[in-house]
Amino acid sequence: MQLRILLAAVLVVVTTMASSFGTTNGQDPCETSCGDLAIEFPFGTREGCYHSHDFLVTCNRSSGRPIPFYKDSNILITKISTMQESEMEIEMFVASDCYNNTGYAYGYTTSLLLRDFRISTKNWFVAIGCDTDAYISGSRGGEYADGTGCISRCSSNTSRMTNGSCSGVGCCQVAVPEGMNSFKISVDSYRNHTHLLDFNPCSYAFVVAKGKYNFSTNNLRDFGSVENMPLLLDWAIGNKTCEIARKDTHTFLCKGNTSECDQEYGGPGYRCRCTPGYAGNPYRENNCKRSYECQCPKGYKKDGRGCMKDVSLIIQIVVGTLAAVIFLLIFVVWLYLGLKKRKLLMLKEKFFRQNGGIMLQQRISREGSSSHHDRAKVFTIEELKKATNNYDETRIIGKGGYGTVYKGVLSDKRIVAIKKSKLIDQTESQIEQFINEVVILSQINHRNVVKLIGCCLETQVPLLVYEFISNGTLSDHIHNESRSLALTWDIRLKIATGTAGALSYLHSAASVPIIHRDIKPTNILLDDNYVAKVSDFGASKLIPVDQTELATIVQGTLGYLDPEYLQTNQLTDKSDVYSFGVVLVELLTGKKALRFDRPENERNLAMYFLSSLKEGRLFQVLDDQHLVLNEGIIPHEIIIISRLAERCLRMNGDERPTMKEVAMELEGILASMIEKHPWVQTTSNEEESESLLKQVAVDRDYELTHGNKASSSTFDSMSNHTILPIASGG
């Protein structure tokens, strides 16, 4: 009886073992699965079934359902590939760093140690959080490898974040260093999430397979429920190459005629694969089976064992493909460049016609009797690009409301100023007027007017080429404390006289009268000898010979604008007279035409000057540092010019003098100064002139002291006029 019980027990044990390991009829006793995971050598669940400890799969059955873990850890294995990619997918833990209202920190670090396995470069290292600094470090082949990391910042405004994007706002990611076989993840915060506790109290970091994670702004609040992320591991056998490993026939795993070492794998270690035409597990002897009649694919040829690469055919294909690609590339580049050049030529032709190029050529041809020197030259776009070094920013010498001015050097070594205007829509009549202005302005040859040399019409907006004036604008000198010292009274008077002469010429001596419409110190240039040059005719208007005024849209700079023009829209030559009067006041006072940081009654310089003149307080507004004033005593010439400025600034244009009258009066004052003070003849030695002027006794018959209530009919002429308020300035 006892013998029967013993035999029955032995039978049960044998039956159980057979059901677990297979049968005892010669089949493999190793487990081939654990739950849904297929297990094949070199992986196994017990000693003798796996190649090394790195290939151990622990099958946990304690919960009733078999769960495969990696080695002796609690890291879940989800996939193993032995035939193609030689990869294993695991569920790796997420590292975290969290804080609460008391500032208490809690969290986890994550690490993994491998030998024959490496972290696949098909993973990303990802960090989540709004106050996050994450880092991954590890080793490669037993030696420390450089780590990497990333920083993620954000505010609680989720509208600035993008779902699916790990660009550093709420989420960041970097590539995993190649070849790492162990790693450790650390995650930290800069401010302990103190400003984000309600929104994002934690930082998270993990390694995840590419394509297995998409960032969502919701992760900033509830990612704590995620404990693991899928991670890919690359594996190979040992750390020896194919050539070295196959020398040891006992340990070399690529055995049999149908299994070969993968020569395309670059290590470390080696991998096996079935020869072409065979399928199976190449790590088990004779497991690669031919399941069909081998039809070698293109690029292979048959040999005794199956298919092998046809190297000669491959070389032919590669060489032919490469030659075809090179030829196609050259053809595409040639075609692209040809089409681009043709398109550019067509565009240049379009702009040339659009900007009135044909009309300008006809005008130049029609006026062929004029000297070649006076003709407007039509430049090509290539000439001006070369002259400005392709409009290099270092060549910019000025910017304004109408565009940018570049310094250029033409092919004949002439230095010029090239004006690139802003984009505007032009009607046909405006184009005709522009061409007319170019022709006329190019013929103006006055020492106090900047010479227009020519233009370029091959761009969307025409480019204008002027002579280059080297010493900057009058504004640069008046309102720059260090440069204004050089502007002695005689130099200021000569600048005013030269400017008035230029405007007088434009109004009355040019072939067609021209109203400048924007006279101000920034549009008056100075050469090295302080000779004034009127420039920038972008707002100018030609006056037909049978008209004295034009109805136009108000254009100009506040502070210099004629109040009568501002009210009526009627542009006359007296509008330039008013603007010149403001420039004259700036020369006398050294102050800007419009300044909102001054007291309200002093903001508009012209109005302040007129009121000071009327109330006998002229000394208060004059630039006593540069006009050779001695404690309230004003030279006779300055009083005369102040009265001239007052007449130019009268509200009624009919009461203002013409520019011809202004120029003549200034020339007379300058001539009398030269006669009275013979040294005031040249500006070449300014320091000597300034020194001599300071020694001259001032004529006290014209003394006008502070607080004097003296008035005259000249001063009272402004008393009954309305002063227009000006809100802003240019």
Binding residues: 420
Burial classification of residue 633, based on how many CB atoms lie within 10 Å of its CB (0-12 exposed, 13-18 middle, 19 or more buried): middle
Give yes or no for a contact between 536 and 421, defined as CB atoms under 8 angstroms apart.
no
Q: CA–CA separation, 444 vs 504, rounded Å?
A: 13
Q: CA–CA separation, 460 vs 430, rounded Å?
A: 15
Q: Which residues are annotated as a binding site for ATP?
A: 420
Neighbours of 134 (CB within 10 A): 28
Burial classification of residue 311, based on how many CB atoms lie within 10 Å of its CB (0-12 exposed, 13-18 middle, 19 or more buried): exposed
Q: How many CA atoms lie less than 13 Å away from 204 in the CB half-sphere? A: 22
Cα dihedral 650, 653, 654, 657, rounded to 10, equals 70
Give yes or no for a contact between 141 and 190, defined as CB atoms under 8 angstroms apart.
no
Neighbours of 161 (CB within 10 A): 18
| Helix residue spans in 135-241 (DSSP H) | 219-222
Q: Is 518 tagged catalytic?
A: yes
Q: How many CA atoms lie less than 13 Å away from 116 in the CB half-sphere? A: 21
Q: CA–CA separation, 70 vs 185, rounded Å?
A: 19
Q: Per residue in 82-103, is it b (16+ CB within 10 Å) or e — as a string?
A: beeebbbbbbbbbbbbbbeeee
Which residues contact residue 298 at a Cβ distance below 8 angstroms, ignoring those fewer than 6 apart? none
Pairing of strands 377-378, 452-456: parallel
Q: Omega of the bond prior to 268 within 30 degrees of 0, cis?
A: yes
Q: What percent of the residues of the chain are helix, what percent strand, and what percent coil, each to the nearest 5?
A: 35, 25, 45
SS3 160: helix
CA angle 122, 72, 62 (to 5 degrees): 110
| Helix residue spans in 367-405 (DSSP H) | 381-387
Question: Which of 54, 518, 562, 576 does the annotation list as catalytic?
Answer: 518
Under the phi-then-psi rule, with left for phi > 0, alpha for psi from -120 to 50, and beta for the rest, what region is 541? Answer: beta
Q: CA–CA separation, 638 vs 702, rounded Å?
A: 10
Extract the tokens encoding 723: 């002063």
Give yes or no for a contact between 301 and 307, defined as CB atoms under 8 angstroms apart.
yes
Cα dihedral 19, 24, 28, 33, rounded to 10, equals 0
**CA 323 to chain CA mean position, Å:** 39
Q: CA–CA separation, 486 vs 532, rounded Å?
A: 15
**Side chain identity, residue 237:** I
Please, what is the end-to-end C-alpha distance for the chain in angstroms? 121
Give the residue numbers marked as catalytic. Answer: 518
